[in-house]
Chains A and B, each alone.
Chain A
């Protein structure tokens, strides 16, 4: 028995018919072909499926699709206009903050949440906030550096704005 829901996905309003037991991750990947979010564990313990719901990072594998009725979902595909990179994506490239790349979209979405929740985070806060996003290849140092770069850049831009 499918339910019709209205939701906003990457800025676009969608009407979706979804079965009540389907997760947001399944709907994103299978119905909308948004395959950037991936399933690493299926039970909310690895962070690879992280997306933003109303700006907050959530595990899309634990979120029922019907729960995003009337809410706004942002996936890795929606963080920057097509053909462009967000500041976080660019920082990840600059620092080479990825290897196999499987955890990377989830990691980037968690960083987007971090920048919103703790825009002036220091290293301890960065580590704490991102500790739910596992990476086995060895990129934690690069991710930390990339996040620091973005925070410093945002701070510098703010300083420039207030000085002007």
Chain B
């Protein structure tokens, strides 16, 4: 293979290093107005009165309020249509959209916001999923408007009306109660992760206008143009062909730009204004627009003296915020993955997706899994310590393998997790049980430790991706695809797949940007599905062109198609390079003149879905497997943790572009490192208080570990192009527990269960351990005794 498995230079390099790459906010249209949003100041309130007359009169701006929604379906949402374009009767979080103004300039729009009068009647609010489920809690959404779902996997989710529990997912096997009762050791712990930010550097941005013929055109920073088209078509009762969604480069997404965000606002407002309307969020607004689910996870595990895990029950409660967005799926996928990549006879896994008066939680790189990987991989090390065994060996003993049946009923294939585990142990310098003890630091007051963790995750299933390839008479090819280039490199990697498939030089393949008038349907650029799904479609489309070329050339060269090869754009008889045709010559032979096009097109649908009655079936077209290792240094005087070294290992199936995979893993590692040590959105009475990069600390170059290694193993998948699976999110999940385990090992077994591992929490844990008699200095590190808050049957 010439184009696969190579560090092909990225096709977007020159545009990006010269500042020429176009992002949505760079697009300026004639007559374009600039929009600003008036946001709720209260977490929950009835909207009594809203008066925009002063703003309109004094500044001549166009406004959008609940009075402008006649004739459309004002509600949108990926799963449930529960989010209005602007608030109708109530606001449900501080930051909810109350009104929008469009003006000649942002300054005027900003000024106009001050002239809008709003009268609220404050209502009691709920700040977390447990308060939301308390008796007498205000109900945020009484109904569950479940339209004809585009997403077949949602059938296994149980929606709860008249409750703040939006939905529940449950799956089980065996008999947890019996298995747990009979187990030699029982562990019962609660772990939490807070609300965090995606941190994409490009704020959300959308621009819309209406053509005279009634077509709605939207330029937008979205990860799923096809879904946006459907949602807007439904909102305005338009044929999908009358909605055109165009997506330029995205300045990062990580899930925050999936499903409708600003598109409904600019579509409705531009309809009223009869001019293009652009809305670009401020960073503070980004913090209110999409967040990662906070979660509280109770995990009970029974394990025998011989190291066999026999029973596990997980109740994962996710804070989905004020609107459902894609939360019900996030929680479902986190739910069935919450038992971890282990053979456990008795399992009972439930996830709760709960509404609160907080910003809407949605897709976030890792999609519900980091919230449950943190508990099960932390508890794994606690169990090893209790049993006095090596945690790597304990994982090895319990790990799932090729051909196993997962708790969902999936027959597991292309499972290289054992290789990931061995690679990570080797790379981090794991030396067996000795590595669970504190390592000395040459700095007084500091201790070091290493830790590892593993993970399993699914991809969106079933799902569709269609690709169309056009070969031009000069031998250049265009892949028409709705996959979004948001930094993860599909423009380069898909070109590699098409070039390899047809037999073209890599630089002869061009990838389009999504434009739903021309590029075929793609479910989403998310769930690490692009290489697997769009890559599969592109490969099949390319093969159709290859077959046509071979047929044309076979006649000309008087050979059987099977005896021909295509390399670097030359069609030749194998072993007889002098009997060959260039692609222009093949076109001339076919069309009589070197003009025209050859076409290939393919729509790839993965099959699967889960049954409503038991949550089982086929959860995933392929499975992500990964491992992470960390070496940390803890300052026991200040509680500050520094990650010295981080390692990630991902099973790619087949690596298309190793350099890009490295960078994807580096990104996953860095985001997870931030979530482990420092990132948390803080609310005070429902108000977000740290919505800036000064107060919300994402890792900078100074936080980057001294050393990072990204390693790849390849367990080919039969449906993936050249065996490739998705990998973009894979490294994220295990990093935080690897860091947590390293900290625990550095501190002689002290376990912290709440992220982030802020210095004061570390100090508190050290103090608590000292007070309860288990020393942090290493006395508890023999593996025989549980440390202060490490816990057998802690509750």
Contacts and interface: CB of A to CB of B under 8 A. Distances in A.
B202 A144 contact: no
Interface in B187-207: 198-203
A134 B19 contact: no
Contacts of B282: 42
A67 interface: no
Which of A43, A138, A140, A143 has the most C-beta atoms of chain B within 10 angstroms of its own C-beta?
A138
B17 interface: yes
Interface of B: 7, 9-10, 12-23, 25-26, 107, 198-203, 249-252, 254, 280, 282-283, 486-489, 659-660, 663-671, 692-694, 698, 700-702, 704, 708
B702 A128 contact: yes
A134 B487 contact: no
**Looking at chain A, what size class is its interface with the partner chain?**
35 or more
A136 B671 contact: yes
Given A93-B9, A140-B670, A98 B252 contact: no
7 contacts: A38-B25, A40-B251, A85-B14, A85-B17, A93-B9, A140-B704, A144-B701
Given A99-B489, A101-B12, 5 more contacts: A132-B700, A136-B671, A137-B667, A138-B665, A138-B668
A29 B15 CA distance: 17
A135 interface: yes
A37 interface: yes
Given A102-B201, A102-B202, A136-B201, A36 B20 contact: yes
Interface of A: 21, 29, 34-43, 45-46, 48, 75-77, 80, 85, 89, 92-93, 96, 98-105, 108, 126-128, 130-144
A140 B668 contact: no
Contacts of B250: 100
A38 B701 CA distance: 20
B701 A127 contact: yes
B666 A139 contact: yes
Nearest to A82: B18
Contacts of A133: 700-701
B667 A138 contact: yes
Contacts of B693: 41, 43, 45-46, 134
A37 B702 contact: no
Contact of A92 (B17, B280, B668): B17
Contacts of A80: 18
Nearest to B674: A136
B692 A45 contact: yes
A136 B21 contact: no
A50 to B, nearest CB: 11
Contacts of B692: 41, 43, 45
B202 A100 contact: yes
A54 to B, nearest CB: 20
Given A35-B19, A101-B487, A141 B251 contact: no
In the A-B complex, list the 7 residue pairs whose CB atoms are closest, starting with the nearest.
A36-B19, A138-B667, A102-B251, A100-B487, A101-B16, A138-B666, A99-B487
B23 A38 contact: yes
A41 B280 CA distance: 11
Which of B7, B18, B249, B708 has the most C-beta atoms of chain A within 10 angstroms of its own C-beta?
B18
Contacts of B198: 136
Contact of A101 (B25, B107, B251, B668): B251
B201 A135 contact: yes
A131 B23 contact: no
Nearest to B664: A138
Nearest to A29: B26
B283 A40 contact: yes
A73 B662 CA distance: 35
B254 A136 contact: yes
Contacts of B670: 136, 138, 140
Contacts of B254: 136
Contacts of B14: 85, 93
